[in-house]
Amino acid sequence: MGHISGAKAGQGRRTAIGCQNGGMTAPPANAASATFGVHTPSAPALALLLDVDGPVASPLTRDVKPAIIADLVALATAGIPVIFNTGRSDAFIREQVMEPMIAAGMPSGTLIHAICEKGAVWFSYTAAGPGPIHVDRELAVPAAYGDDIRRMVAEDYSSHMFFDETKRAMVSVEQHIEVPNSEYLAEQALFDAEAMELMQRHGLGVVRLDHHAPNSDDEIDYRVDPTIISTDIESVRLGKDLGASRAVELLAAQGITPQAWRTVGDSRTDYAMADWLHHNDHPVKHVDVRPADGVPVKPYPILTATDLGLEETVIHDDAGAAFLRSWLDALVG
């Protein structure tokens, strides 16, 4: 690793919490606004587009190791754009990523972008804190359906999972940390089936994996998306590809065009980041930190921990940490 080698985003109605500007730019948010992005050159050698659960945050503890935080700060300080592209909420990113990065000494001129809820929510932050939270309201799950899921979890599934109250557009439930994953996954299958049925009772078309249940107009607008620790219920327009397009637009608003991209994920759906970038003529390599699902054939290079000389058993945030360090060593030395 010593050598560093679609659709338009945001077509729906946008609002910015605490700001009237809901566009894709990163507006000044605090006293550090005058120096937003001063550490980032206009054509950096590399830009990082990172899923959070798995590559950055442990799927077991849900927090981020200090060594990963330190390397993220060092990469951003060296002028490498660091952008998070996650299904997590903005609250999770603020608590588990932003605040530790600031505490680790992130310089005042460094700007980090966070695309949350698979593209429905985004914000940027500096050492002075977060800027406005932008939400594409047209991509939100209907509130009445979310209320019914909240009640369903409280009444029938609370021993294994909890309703994520921090989501602004998606509806998500997540495994309790103390519950064994095998027990959660068995319960998740029951929950997902009931969530699909509830969607149909609301007159909404829905898909889960290969199971399609259109509405009365033969349309599918929503997706039930299971992961190893959660289920996200979301607009079918959301995805890591939408996050990738938002990332490119956010950097373009700063006058930044990276020479190459590295996308990092732990699931098949994360490949959509690299798919979108490659389709739109951005040089990209994708890192899969959990390749046990099988590495698909793609028109761009795919890297795993074995490409760093590590064992196949090095996965998730251990693999993510190794790649971050390899890029830091190659770029900074």
Integer CA distances (angstroms), 62 to 23, 78, 84, 178, 234, in order:
31, 27, 15, 12, 21
The encoded tokens of residue 241 equal 């590809």
Predicted local confidence at residue 155, as pLDDT: 98
Distance between CA atoms of 274 and 252, rounded to whole angstroms?
A: 18
For residue 249, pLDDT over 90 is answered with yes
For residue 243, pLDDT over 60 is answered with yes
For residue 201, pLDDT over 90 is answered with yes
For residue 306, pLDDT over 80 is answered with yes
The encoded tokens of residue 235 equal 């607009």
Predicted local confidence at residue 40, as pLDDT: 77
Predicted local confidence at residue 123, as pLDDT: 98
Mean pLDDT of the chain: 90
Distance between CA atoms of 281 and 17, rounded to whole angstroms?
A: 33
| Per-residue pLDDT reduced to its tens digit, 22-74 | 444 443 333 333 344 556 789 999 999 999 999 999 999 999 999 999 999 99
pTM for the model stands at 0.87
Mean pLDDT score, 218-239: 96
| 256 or 41, which is more confident | 256
